[in-house]
Amino acid sequence: MDDEVFRALADPTRRALLDRLAERNGQSLKELCAGLGMARQSVSKHLAVLVGANVVTTARRGREVLHYLNAEPVNAIADRWMSKYDRGRAQALAGLKQALEDGNMPESSDFVYVTFIRSSPERVWRAITEPEFTKQYWGVEFRTDWRKGSPIVWSFQGIEMADPEQVVLEAEPYTRLSFTWHAITPEFAAKVGIDEETRDRLVREPRTTATFTLEPQEGGVTKLSLLHTGRPGSSIVEMVEQGWPQTLASLKSLLETGSPLEQ
């Protein structure tokens, strides 16, 4: 996979496409073609290379297919190569890595992360939904029957968070799960160090949505895609995009090695 990522980043047109997505994530093929002076088919081929390298992932919204940056492979390569080998080559990744991590994408309302886990969709589903797994790598437990429309009670370090808008939106076992994000209660804010002014702003914002998609791959691997959506400039999305990579990397470690990452 490393070779595929380096090949994807080597082409200036593909880097230009990534720059466009860094400026505004979640664009259609038509939007990405605008101003490039290239045929739609050529742009589509470049995007196929980026998708094949897992640097870009797609999600369907209505009739449109939207394209998103995916931080996981770039983070993995930067962490592996920057400290060991050619600094110049690694620095070519640094700007993109920073764009993916620092949250400076003001026009984007979505966060996307895709990872491949050597485990079955059934077991990955259990890791997302069952307390015996979630409390190990995430530190949270859910109380719900995981049926569409059902409420979800979040439990975090002895704090319980319940809210009428905290519900399951979609639930297709082993395939797709979507739910609204939890309420920022005074107790939770105090526990994690959120000040009252920030909490007030978060409470007034519309709810965001976390959606997991599970796709079986060859060799007993599951492709796990996360899409966390909110309105443009959502403070919640900006906050959770810092934590999702660590959480999902810990989930992957738990399923593949039997132990989550150290917090």
Intrachain domains 2-101 and 110-257 with the same fold: no
Q: Which two tokens stand for residue 150?
A: 């059902």
- Length, in residues, of the chain: 263
Instruction: Note whether 68 and 58 are within 8 A (CB).
Output: yes
Sequence ranges of the domains in the chain: 2-101, 110-257
Angle separating helix axes 40-52 and 2-10, nearest 10 degrees = 150
Topology of domain 110-257 in CATH is Alpha-D-Glucose-1,6-Bisphosphate; Chain A, domain 4 (3.30.530)
Residue of 32, 215, 60 lying closest to 124 (CA atoms):
215
Return the biggest CA–CA distance within the chain.
56
Q: pLDDT truncated to tens, each residue of the chain (263 aa)?
A: 668 888 888 898 998 898 888 888 888 999 999 878 889 999 999 999 999 988 898 888 788 899 988 877 766 666 555 544 444 444 444 455 555 555 444 455 688 888 999 999 999 999 999 999 999 999 999 999 999 999 999 999 999 999 999 999 999 999 999 999 999 999 999 999 999 999 999 999 999 999 999 999 999 999 999 999 998 888 999 889 888 988 999 999 999 999 998 76
Q: Which two tokens stand for residue 97?
A: 């890595």
Q: What span, in angstroms and rounded, lies between the C-alpha atoms of 239 and 182?
A: 13
Residue of 214, 210, 216, 234 lying closest to 224 (CA atoms):
214
Measure CA 82 to chain center: 23
DSSP state of 181: P
CATH number for the domain formed by residue range(s) 2-101: 1.10.10.10
pTM across the whole model: 0.72
